Amino acid sequence: MAKSILLQTTIPFSDDDWNIRSFSMLAEHLSSLRDENGYALYDVSARNREARPDEADPVLSKVDGSDIDQIWLFALDNGDGLSVEDCEAITRFRQRGGGLLTVRDHNDMGSSLCSLSGVGAAHYFHSKQQEPDDSRHQRDDAYTLNVDWPNYHSGANGDYQKIEVVSNHELLLRSDGSLLEYFPSHPHEGAIGAPDPSASVIATGKSLITGRDFNLVVAFEKSTDEHGNRLGRAIAESSFHHFVDYNWDTDRGCPPFISEPPGDGYKRNPERLNDIKHYVANAARWLA
């Protein structure tokens, strides 16, 4: 029986902003994955937030009582993307064994994740829950001046970055057992870390401007919380641009506020897009 995956943003629909339509290639790829008998592995649904910032979302606030197996949460807000009811339900969802992937971006984008139990502590922002290393409280991307730290510059949208595999984790293996090498790059990625013993940094990137390493992926293994709940696996990532259509294919377009010129790395070397597709398949399997 196919596992149910919910692709969910933390902002309402807007034509002039990122929205769930911006992740159509991800949804199509997950939906295309098959088992050895040709049956679909995943039943994928995708939606935007459907509530004002001070209101509970009708799906997220009740997700723990649903038959959803995984939530891929794209935090595109500036701190108001999840209500108290939403966070409590997502916490209960993971307490019942649900898998959770959380992604954000630069500065304070996605800082509503701070309110999430456990996984929220993996995300560091500008105005709150900052990186523990004070020396990192400075701009990395020096070109886009309206974006403040954390803003690690791994390359242009449409290009790819060479990742450093910290742990030979199953999330980072190709089907032949070799290690993944390439992730989509982005001019200003966010900051993440491993906040507790169940979590570990498994991949890092390197700034093309400062040469500084930064964390790309944190994996949370199954663990037992203080109440005896067996928590589902989880992933924290530095940027939603690893998954968005524009970074897989710049011809898909982007919101009008994106000012940086795109790169053409994937257009010149389309086979290198296979690594992030391998990773997506690995993440869905591992979270399940």
Q: Residues in the chain with pLDDT < 50?
A: none
Residue where the block lists tokens 């997950």: 30
The domain ranges of the chain are 3-287
What distance in Å separates the CA atoms of residue 99 and residue 284, rounded to the nearest whole number? 9
* Polymer length in residues for the chain: 288
pLDDT per position as a tens digit, 156-176: 999 999 999 998 999 999 999
Cα–Cα distances (Å) from 39 to 33, 200, 286, in that order, read 8, 33, 18
The pTM of the full predicted model, rounded to 2 decimals, is 0.97
Structural class in CATH, domain 3-287: alpha beta
Which residue has 């509970």 as its token pair? Answer: 56
Query: At how many degrees (to 10) do helices 274-287 and 24-32 cross?
Result: 70
Q: Residue type for 234, please?
A: A
Supply 137's token pair: 């409280």
Other C-beta atoms lying within 10 Å of the C-beta of residue 144: 16
pLDDT of residue 212: 97
The string of DSSP codes covering 188-236 is SB-EE---STTEEEEEEEE-TTT--EEEEEEEE--EE-TTS-EEPPEEE
- Which pLDDT belongs to residue 53? 80
Angle at 23 between CA 22 and CA 28, to 5 degrees: 130
CA proximity to 71, closest of 104, 87, 94, 48: 94
